[in-house]
Amino acid sequence: MSGIFWHIGVFGALAVFLIVTIYRAIALARLPVHLRWELAPIPGEKGKGKYGGSYLEEYEWWKKRRQKSFFAPLKYMAVEIFLLRAIWRHNRALWPLTLSFHTGIYLVFAMLILSIVNAILIITGVPTSVLDVFLVITSIVALAGYLLGGLGAISLLLKRTLDANLRPFNSTSKYFNLVFLGAVFVSGAYSWFVLPDFALSLSQFIKGLVTLDAGVTVSFPLSLHVILASLFFLYLPWTDMIHFVAKYFTYHEIKWDDTPKDARMEKELEGLLSQPVSWSAEHVKADGKKSWADLTKKKTDEQEA
């Protein structure tokens, strides 16, 4: 396989990944505003977030200006994303395995970015000495990523299979996801060890892609790695592995959303409250026409009397 097929395969997979991921993110964002369901700790609560406090600890809180921290939530999420704080604190036996797995993913992603930079450096013709430095860094990051990711995938697979706590909850897709991603890591590691200059080969391949070079080629085993990675990008957005998107919503839009309604939300809520209800239980008294507001805002006859 050579030339245009690589462009179609790689760019096509990336395009599908981006389009479907963005579509799913937008679909989540466009769901109706829900009732408040916050959960401490909310790190954005300046001076209180650390111990789980909120602005509701203030006497007549509505008369006071809310003290919010911009950086505390970012710091909290950075520790959660890169060091897996929750697993460290509450599931220590799983932590080294999943940390290895996730760090592998982050490093391989960093390697991809570095390879794009290398491709640009090659195109712009920077001195070889500069390029060599970048290639060495890329090579180290790649090896670390593949080894950590591969080790993580295999150990998680074993843990899922052998741990009596996890086994009853496994599904085919849970195994398949780990095997698939594990194959991406292992094929990458294999390429790194087999090719005399893995980082340069990958960077030149990316250069061929970004310059739309019809003659771009890539040799085995890097070709296998690229194909597997592209297929994984095609598969990823259809699965629950895009929890990196969902996590934004579970934290920012639910657990940390403690903001009282404003005029804009009030307008949206009025629309939602005017929707018809069709729950069937007798006490709801819904008929498919009466709205939430009709059903909840009227006094009962006895109260009117």
Site for other proteins in 168-227 (CB under 8 A): 168-174
- What is the footprint of other proteins within residues 21-40 (CB under 8 A)? 28, 31-40
Cβ neighbors of 1 (< 8 A, separation 6 or more) are 9, 223
Helix, strand, coil: what percent of the chain each, to 5?
Answer: 70, 0, 30
Cα torsion through 107, 232, 237, 198, rounded to 10: 30
Question: Contacts with other proteins: how many residues (CB under 8 A)?
Answer: 84
| Contacts by residues 235-238 (CB-CB < 8 Å, ≥ 24 positions apart) | 235/180, 236/17, 236/21, 237/16, 237/17, 237/20, 237/21, 237/24, 238/20
Candidate list 5, 61, 193, 220; residue touching other proteins; CB under 8 A: 61
CA distance 77 to 16: 27
- What is the footprint of other proteins within residues 105-164 (CB under 8 A)? 164
Region from 47-55, 116-124, 139-147, 219-227 binding other proteins, contact rule CB under 8 A = 47-55
Region from 8-16, 49-57, 119-127, 142-150 binding other proteins, contact rule CB under 8 A = 49-57
- What is the footprint of other proteins within residues 239-258 (CB under 8 A)? 240, 243, 246-247, 249-251, 253-255, 258
CA distance 294 to 290: 6
Candidate list 8, 56, 74, 158; residue touching other proteins; CB under 8 A: 56
**Residue with Cβ nearer other proteins (33 or 112):** 33
Instruction: Report if residue 297 touches other proteins, rule: CB under 8 A.
Output: yes
**Residue with Cβ nearer other proteins (61 or 71):** 61
Cβ neighbors of 209 (< 8 A, separation 6 or more) are 6, 7, 10, 11, 216
What's the min distance (Å) between Cβ of 222 and other proteins?
31
What's the min distance (Å) between Cβ of 302 and other proteins?
6
Instruction: Report if residue 304 touches other proteins, rule: CB under 8 A.
Output: no
Element (H, E) at 96: helix 95-124
Rounded alpha-carbon distances, angstroms, from residue 36 to 33, 50, 261, 292: 9, 21, 10, 17
Instruction: Report if residue 79 touches other proteins, rule: CB under 8 A.
Output: no
What's the min distance (Å) between Cβ of 206 and other proteins?
32
What's the min distance (Å) between Cβ of 26 and other proteins?
13
